[in-house]
Structure 1
Amino acid sequence: MTELHYLDASTALGLFRRRELSPVELLQSLIHRIEEVNGGINALTETLFEDALPAAKKAAVRYARGRDVTPLLGLPVAAKEKHGLQGRTLSQGLVARRDTLAAANHPVIERIQRAGGIIHARTTTPELSCATVTHSPLWGVTRNPWNQRFSPGGSSGGSGAALAAGFAPLATASDIAGSTRLPASFTGTVGYKAPYGRIPGLAPLSADHYRGDGPMARTVADTALLANVMSGRHPGDHTTVADAAPMAPDPALVAGLRVALCIRLGNYPVAPDVEANTRRVAEALTAAGAVVEEIVLPWTVEEISRTMFTHFGYLLGPAMEDETAGSEPQLAAYTRRFMADARAAAEANRYVDGLRAETLLQGQLAEAMTGFDALLCPASAVPALDADAHYLDGIDANGQYLGHYWQAHMTAPFNIANRCPVLAVPSGMADCGIPTGVQIVGHPFDDATVFHLGAAVESALPWADRHPMAPEFAGHAGI
């Protein structure tokens, strides 16, 4: 039987509505779990139990009166710290901003609370969410519950670790180069990068077409549940598009779909265990009735990295420099390196050069996906990252030295192809004892298809009952 702290959101809602479980009971189990094991993984910046418990009691009263009309009523949600809560700290991991308070709720927080969700904990990030690992001078190192030697990834690493450890059934995340999909991959959870404009962000960087806020969960259905709540037009974000029909993942709808399998996305040096697990997912989809055909793409990690950092050089990099002016000595080394790389890329390339590179990549992807309903590929070429590393000198990827750690991850092309929905789902276990994941990439704004395919993978290769073993939380050993 599933332990209460690992109960999925959809099941919990059903139990609430049948009066078989109280939102207070679920929350109390999560509080106990957090108090028991968070010391070993450090996934949270703060807990909000004093506000969450009264909210859970109110939700229980509403269920008792038959007033369960909001989609998340009584469900605990862990919020990424960058998603501000009015009156609470909004530091984004910066020591110099540790006392800064949010003036208002972030749009996704506003929607979660309106839907009855209860924010009971906030999750760690690297500084300004700009790294592929999750550690900072302010909060320390966040570790992967599956093996504490390794990172849960970044920048939504706290959310991924919290879900994997049983701290919440749902969590918020964000993604500008893979910051949702990488933590999902490394923690055995599900992460969704929505098409740009689907989910509202916070001005002014809501206008950055690489970025997007979104959901993480332990199941495909729960991820869709939270995505449905988050999505739709918002007056504070001019880029948001018209509301879409709610997503309802159905594995039965996969039969006959055509899926392009691309292992390397060009020349990414994919590790053997990552490749084997990706092919296992492709075989599962074939068994579910999909037609899977392997393709190649003409991309290189070097060109993708150049394109990405040119973009960062004109938007995120300058914004980070504004945020950190005067506090440079207090910054993590990876933050200083990121800003320097972005600055150098802007000096070497004009903004229009970046746009030309972006549209070339987008066109190549569209051509490769012609005749297919979706594309399947790994989320990361490397199966793991050390928890406390900075990777300032690059990374060894399957015996090949790469000059920048982002060149080891296969997520950024789909921030460049920013209207494509991408769902990251577990694909298996790496040789080092932590999960691996795949990306399911859809055509622009075809969110439903990636969720149907994700549900089929989940049905064929169930992962919901696989969790980190309790002894791992006592030290830094793996399974």
Structure 2
Amino acid sequence: MTASSSADSSVELTSLSATDSLAGFRAGDFSPSEVLDATLARIRSVNGDAQTGINAFSEILADDARRAARRADDAYTSARREDAPVAVLLGLPVATKEKHGLAGRTLEQGLAATRGEIAAANHPVVDRILDAGGIIHARTTSPEFSCATVTHSPAWGITRNPWNTAASPGGSSGGAGAALAAGMTSLATASDIAGSTRIPAGFTGTVGYKAPFGRIPGLPPLAADWYRGDGPMGRTVADTALLAAVMSGRHPIDHGSWGAHGVRPDAIATSGPDAVRGLRIGLDLTLGDYPVAPSIRANTERLARALEGAGAEIVPVSLPWTTELITRTIFAHFGHILGPAMAALTAGTEDRLAAYTRRFIADAAAAAQTTTPPESLALDARIQHDLAAAMSGLDALLTPTQAVEMLAASADYLDGIDVFDADGAPRHLGHYWEAHMTSPFNVANRCPVLSVPSGMSSVGVPTGIQVVGHPFDEAMVFRVGSAIESLVEMPEFPALLT
């Protein structure tokens, strides 16, 4: 395809995968400047305002990005002339989460307490993206301090799901998911402490990867929190693996970081459906008693049958968990690390916090009063042991990403969430985080987890499936994820944007 091959070339260029864009740059079919211009035009066309629009960004860096794109144009021209290699992301638009500091730019995390703060240096993943030739053209929204699974804040307004603007794209990396789904970036950075990469991936029909703890470097001191991690999001499994390779590897600023830099986790001999032939893959539809919506259950079961047809053995698994146990476990952990850190940072500005932030700090503090650090570690160990036992003899485990079809874009869910159980009976969950099936794998955070689209729900919002690997086995989750991607047909863009 060339940039002039269609009257609507901007839409065509922004619909390309990252890997296809890079191939086009190398071949000279179109230039980084053309893709960037198309991406910026797409943002102007579909992003909208902070209250009614998709509103995926805290900041657009158009001028800096255009200068970088022109340099990339020249670099590709020289490389083609001299048959020379280029940096792996050269010329590709990448949107970074606002919390991933960019030197000289604001680093506010949506909080009144940090309004006007400027990053003194780049976050490690930002440095690696820039070193790889990526063009940071925009920074994406999140809830305050990334502490919610919806994305709205007094600072940045409401971020909405491009598939259904009444719905949230999820959180906390909601701006990243919305930007990818709407064609406003090629790749995006995210972070994950209870599902903040995988939840928006599930709700926006994109791919999100939670790497094993330490595989992608973070910033101290909270980089030492073994539930958390930064990660990549993309529109395809291969794109997500590409960004994972750029972000991953030992870094001197994070002494918990490990492994080689620049190694793709999807380097396998086979891809597509054949990748799962002969594998034993576990399937747990509910992770105990999560109230999984019928459309999500149906999409997951349909996909399991397709994997069987591709030669995998699907093994039913039933983990002995409850949503109450998982919530107790994670908030005991947050009560001794993240909650106190947030309380200290926001002291004196409590009246200007979003309601969900106040709720999170209060819940974490209450959990710390009832569960000591050793008891919290014991709860973690129980979850980890249960998962290891359930996955014994399996190559990977599948489970839905989310239990509910959507969250309302502007809601706080201070009183929990009303759902329906497997029999259709109404059920109230005391904390809306119980509607997501992601946080057990932050407790077991050495396990890599990839969220891949599994279909569409009855409310026009995508559904996702998590591929859970054994500790540090990154290649397996990308291997299975590649097969899933080839078996699930998803629309290219949300209908309201086409």
The reply on whether 1:468 has 2:468 as its aligned counterpart is: no
- Unaligned 5+ segments in structure 2 are 2-10, 421-425
> What is the alpha-carbon distance in structure 2 between the residues aligned to residue 407 and residue 146 of structure 1?
23
Partner of 1:91: 108
CA displacement, residues 257-296 of structure 1 (integer Å, 9 cap, x when unaligned) = 1100000001111111110011122122112211111110
Q: 1:105 and 2:132 equivalent?
A: no
After superposition, residues 75-474 of structure 1 pair within 5 angstroms as 75-243=92-260, 245-248=263-266, 250-251=271-272, 252-398=274-420, 399-463=426-490, 465-470=491-496
Contact 1:176–1:211 (CA under 8 A) maintained in structure 2: yes
- Which shows bigger deviation, 90-99 or 112-121? 90-99
1:476 aligned partner: none
Alignment of 1:9-24 (within 5 A): 9-24=18-33
Alignment partners' CA distance in 2, 1:248 and 1:408: 30
CA–CA distance in structure 2, aligned partners of residues 169 and 329 of structure 1: 38
Q: Please say if residues 113 and 345 of structure 2, whose CA atoms lie closer than 8 Å, have aligned partners that are also in contact.
A: no
* Cα distance between partner residues in 2 of 1:118 and 1:279: 39
CA distance in 2: counterparts of 1:176 and 1:267, whole angstroms: 22
Determine whether 1:30 maps to 2:39: yes
Name the CA distance, whole Å, in 1 between partners of 2:464 and 2:135: 28
Determine if contact 1:419/1:444 at 8 Å carries over to the other structure: yes
**2-structure distance, mates of 1:154, 1:15:** 32
| Paired letter, 1:293 | V
Contact 2:15–2:492, Cα closer than 8 Å, also in 1: no
Given residue 469 of structure 1, which amino acid in structure 2 is its aligned partner? A
Partner of 1:54: 67
* CA deviation map 1:26-84 (0-9, x unaligned): 00000000011111211101100110001011011111001442110000000100000
Residue-by-residue CA offset, 1:211-256 (whole Å, 9 max, x unaligned):
0000000000000000000000000001111227422362333211
Secondary structure of the residue that 2:282 maps to in structure 1? Answer: strand
Amino acid of the structure 2 residue aligned with 1:34: I
> After the TM superposition, which segments of 4 or more aligned residues of structure 1 sit over 6 Å from their partners?
none
In structure 1, runs of 5+ residues without a counterpart are 473-479
Is this contact kept in 1: 2:455–2:489, CA < 8 A?
Answer: no
The residue type equivalent to 1:433 in the other structure is G
Partner of 1:477: none
Give a deviation string over 1:142-201, Cα, whole Å, max 9, x none.
000001000000000000000001101100000000000000000000000000010000
Give the total of aligned pairs: 471
Q: 1:207, 1:239 within 8 Å by CA — same for their partners in 2? A: yes
Contact 1:79 1:173 in 2 (8 A): yes
Q: Which amino acid aligns with 1:226?
A: L
Q: Which deviations, in whole Å up to 9, do the C-alpha atoms of 1:328-383 show, x marking residues without a partner?
A: 11100000000000000000000110100111110110000001000000011111
Say which is worse superposed, 24-33 or 395-404, in terms of deviation.
Answer: 395-404
Q: Percent identity?
A: 61
What SS class does the counterpart of residue 41 from structure 1 fall into? coil
Task: Confirm or deny that 1:43 pairs with 2:65.
Answer: no
Aligned-pair CA distance for 1:471: 5.6
